[in-house]
Amino acid sequence: MNRVMVKPTKFVSAILLLTLAILVPVVSATLPGLPNNEDNTSVAGQASQLARAGHTQEAIRLLQAALATRPTDLAARLALADIYARNGHADQAEHELREALRLHPESSLAEMALGAFYISAGSLKAAEPVLEDAVRRHPKLTQIRAQLALVLALEHKYAEAEANIRLVQPPIDSNPRILYFRLAASIDSGLGDLHAAAHATEEALRVMPGDEQLQLVASIAEGEAGEWQACMRNVAPLYASRPTPASGLVLLRAQLAMRGDFASTLRSLRSLQLPEDQTLPLRIHSAEILAAADEHGEAVEELQEALKIKGGPDDELLYNLAVEQYRSRQFDAAVATLAALRGQKDSGAIENLAGDIEEQEGDSFAAVHSYQNAIALAPQEQQYRLSLGAELLKYHTYEPAVLVFQQAAELFPESARVYVGLGMAYYLLDKYDDSVSAFLRADKLDRGSGRIINYLGATQLRRPGGPNPAAVDAICGRADSNSSDPAAVTWCATLLFQKAYLAGNQAGASEVIRRLRIATSLATEDPVANCSLGHALEWTEQLAEARPWLEICVALRPDSAEDHFRLSRVYQRLGLTQAAREQADLTLKSNVDEDRRDAVTIEFVYEMLGQPKHTKDPN
């Protein structure tokens, strides 16, 4: 299983939460016409002055007396509601706002005030209908629409929020303009449009380029959008002028993404003098970022330091440390860490990771035992059964593997990966019809992504007696209905060629070659498409044209003895004796006994275990 630490928290969510947290109090504090904007000669203005001076009860009595004689005085009632709200009397504030709206049902100011009250109180479900009614009555009043967009964004109704904010023109004044673009960035983030979110934060930053918080938010958004150059331009000077954990982590992430020198930034982060409650999160987050960038050795150091700071055992930190030790090939250290974890409390995750380590060390018997333990401890965890089944297949223990995948299919009938495993196991047991059925079931569950077609096609390529008709029909049906699907088009043409080649039937060769040409145009770097076209041209005696395709083929698939042999034969017949001799030598040096069954099995196994196909010890 591909084990990595939990990836760093999506910075896009940080943009959204930080921005919305700032906007909520701003909405209720800056609405035009609220008491802080009143003429100080009015009753509402006088009351506001008294309240700001700390004479709250005197202000309330003044407003209550005014409303007793003039109950329709909107400014006085809104001022009273504001004072109640600021002093924690929410029920009285809501009553006054509702009364204001009852007496002035067409007042946009009353509607906005009530909406702002609900927003600041966190009552979004109450705010939404108030503001929706206000928008219907005042469709051209952009302040209400912006307020509604904020509420919808807070409720994660991003599409509706975007529809409203799109109708609001960016304000000209600095502070409202900044808030507008920050809200737009939050909505874009929620919709998953990371580039738009980055550009919106950049617009906010242009208004106030020296604002450190805006610089940080902009750099986060740019990083999440993969715009690393822009991210570096904002975060590098920010961190240089005032190093903080937040800006340092963004800088570290940018340097890693750009494959730059991150060592000095990491040293700087490690040397920051921080309160104890900030040091541990910093170490953990830097470890997450390093792990996500495949800097597993550095991540190990960060996690070891985090454990020292923690001052005691921590299951999550220890497990993540074991993962990073495994990923950095520190197998003995990983085993020791897992032993410490097992001593506290064993789990399926621990046993499965132990199996992965044992698999990497070549101890198949121990790996199988650990995977079995993982299943026993967590029988509802699909991955542990996939790991066990893949391990059994790798070492040619096919019948037990079939049982593992059959049981998994009963428990997880909607899992495409389980049915791929079952298809592989049936194929290796020469149960070809069952194998095709399992692969087709997997493809249906995978919604025709193309991944399963590659396995199905590969298992049919060397099937005794030629490809299974059901498999060919299914793949070619996909190819004919979707001519832009590279996997289906490639495997359809390849299997049709294999079928004709085995039958010695060249009557349909031109159609097969036409299909193969289309396949190579769709998948220019695919060895199956290129090699199959070269083979087909050689078979039909089109030697001069076969030559370049076979040359591409051996470049893409250099270990294939068959491909070198075919190219040698073409060279020989074209009179290129020296080139033919070189290819003949390469044929002998290649894997003459290469078993395509083993090749496709190994590919599947490493996908299930999440390991590189050719793992090399860097030492």
Q: Is the pLDDT of residue 610 over 80?
A: no
What is the domain extent for residue 534? 448-619
Of 540, 557, 451, nearest to 504 by C-alpha is: 540
pLDDT beyond 70 at 598: no
- Is residue 223 within 8 Å of 11, Cβ to Cβ? yes
Do the domain assignments include residue 564? yes
pLDDT at 152 over 90: yes
H-only helix segments in 225-363: 228-241, 245-257, 263-271, 276-292, 296-310, 315-327, 331-344, 348-360
Structure confidence at residue 590 as a pLDDT band (50, 70, 90): confident
Distance (Å, whole) CA 188 – CA 534: 48
Q: Is 590 helix (H, G, I), strand (E, B) or coil?
A: coil
* Those residues with Cβ within 8 angstroms of residue 562's Cβ, 6 or more apart along the chain or in another chain: none
Whole-number Å distance between alpha carbons of 515 and 476: 11
Neighbours of 304 (CB within 10 A): 17
Percent of the chain residues past pLDDT 90, beyond the cut = 74
Instruction: Report, in this order, helix, strand and coil percent for the chain, each rounded to 5.
Output: 75, 0, 25
What does each C-alpha distance from 308 to 312, 316, 337, 345, 499 come to in angstroms?
7, 14, 14, 21, 64
From 239, 273, 297, the end of a domain falls on 239
238 pLDDT tier (thresholds 50, 70, 90): very high
- Counting beta carbons within 10 angstroms of the beta carbon of residue 105, is it exposed (0 to 12), middle (13 to 18) or buried (19 or more)? exposed
Is the distance from CB of 4 to CB of 303 less than 8 angstroms? Answer: no
Confidence bin at 597 (pLDDT 50/70/90)? low
In a domain, 338, yes or no: no
Average pLDDT along the chain: 88
**Last residue within a domain, chosen from 205, 239, 273:** 239
Collapsing DSSP states into helix, strand and coil, what is residue 4? coil
Which range (185-189, 308-312, 607-611) has the least confidence?
Answer: 607-611
- 174-210: pLDDT as tens digits: 988 998 999 999 999 999 999 999 999 999 999 999 9
DSSP 319-339: HHHHHHHHHTT-HHHHHHHHH
31 in any annotated domain: yes
Q: Is the pLDDT of residue 213 over 50?
A: yes
Quick check: 604 pLDDT over 80? no
pLDDT in the model for residue 596: 54
Residue 447 pLDDT? 84
What are the backbone dihedrals phi and psi of residue 560, each rounded to the nearest 5 degrees, phi first?
-90, 115
**86 exposed, middle or buried (CB, 10 Å; 0-12, 13-18, 19+)?**
middle
Please count the other Cβ atoms lying within 10 Å of the Cβ belonging to residue 616. 7
CB 214 within 8 A of CB 203: no
Confidence band for 448, pLDDT divided at 50, 70 and 90 = confident
Residue 611, pLDDT above cutoff 80: no
pLDDT over 50 (residue 559)? yes
Q: Does residue 235 lie within any of the structural domains?
A: yes
Residue 203: CB atoms within 10 A of its CB come to: 18
Q: What is the mean pLDDT of residues 128-135?
A: 93
For 4, list phi and psi in degrees, rounded to 5. -135, 165
Residue 608 confidence class, pLDDT cut points 50, 70, 90:
low
AA letter at 581: R
Q: Phi, psi (5° rounding) for residue 591?
A: -75, 85
SS3 per residue for 553-570: HHHHCCCEHHHHHHHHHH
Which pLDDT score, from 0 to 100, does residue 313 have?
81
User: Which long-range contacts link 585-593 to residues 24+ away (Cβ below 8 Å)?
Assistant: 586/554, 587/561, 588/561, 590/558, 590/559, 590/560, 590/561, 590/564, 591/559, 591/560, 591/561, 592/561
CA 479 to chain centre: 29
C-alpha of 188 from chain center: 16
Q: Give how many domains the chain has, as a whole number.
A: 2
- Determine, yes or no, domain membership for 256: no
Asked whether residue 77 is domain-assigned, the answer is yes
CB atoms within 10 A of CB 406: 16
CATH number at residue 128: 1.25.40.10
Within a domain: 47: yes
Tokens of residue 193, six digits: 């449009």
User: For 540-556, what is the mean pLDDT?
Assistant: 95
Whether the pLDDT of residue 457 is over 80: the answer is yes
Instruction: Show Cβ contacts of residue 421 under 8 Å, excluding neighbours closer than 6 positions.
Output: 386, 389, 390, 393, 401, 404, 405, 408, 604, 608
For the cut 80, the answer to whether the pLDDT of residue 404 exceeds it is yes
* Domain end marker among 239, 256, 286: 239
DSSP class of 591: B
Question: Does residue 395 form part of some domain?
Answer: no
Q: Which residues of 37-53 are buried (b: 16+ CB within 10 A; e: fewer)?
A: ebeeebbbbbbbebbee
- Give the C-alpha separation, 6 to 577, whole Å: 57
Interval 265-296: pLDDT, tens:
999 999 999 988 899 999 999 999 999 999 99
pLDDT at 32: 35
